[in-house]
A and B are shown apart, each in its own frame.
Chain A
Amino acid sequence: MTDTLDFTIAGARNALRAKTISARELTEAHLAAIEALEPSLNAFITVTPETALAAADAADGALARGEGGPLAGIPLAIKDLFCTNGIRTTAGSRILEPFVPPYESTVTRQLLRDGAVFLGKANLDEFAMGSSTTTSAFGPTINPWQRQGSNTQLVPGGSSGGSAAAVASGMALGSTGTDTGGSIRQPASFCGIVGMKPTYGRCSRFGVVAFASSLDQPGPFARTVEDAAILLGSMAGHDPRDSTSMDWPVPDYAAACRRGVKGLRIGVPREYHADGMPAEIERLWQQGLDWLRDAGAEIVDVSLPHTKYGLATYYIVAPAECSSNLARYDGVRFGLRVPAQDLTDLYEETRAAGFGAEVRRRILIGTYVLSAGYYDAYYLKAQKVRALILKDFTDVFGQVDALLTPTAPSAAFGVGENMDDPVKMYLNDVFTVPASIAGVPGISVPAGLDGDGLPLGLQVIGKHFDEETVFAVGQALESAAGFSAKPQIRVGSLR
Chain B
Amino acid sequence: MVVEAMPERQSASVVLMFAGGSRQEDDRLAGVSHFIEHLYFKGTKKRPTSKEIADAIEGVGGFINASTDKELTAYWARVPAEHMNLGLDVLFDIIANSKLDPADVERERMVILEELRMYQDQPQDYVQNLFEELIWPGHALGRDIAGTEESVSRLGRDDILEYADAHYRLPNLVVGAAGSLDEASTISEVTRNLSLRPDMNGALELAPPLPLDSPRVLVRRRGTEQAHICLGARAVSYLDPDRYALDLLNTVLGEGMSSRLFLNIRERLGIAYDVHSFTQKHRDTGYLGVYIGVDPKKAVDAVNAVMAELRSLTEHEVAAAELARAKEFTKGRLRLELETTNGVVFWLAYQELLLGEINTIDDEIALVDAVTAADVVRVAAEVFSRPMQMSVIGPFSRDSAFRLAIGA
Q: Do A and B come from one complex?
A: no
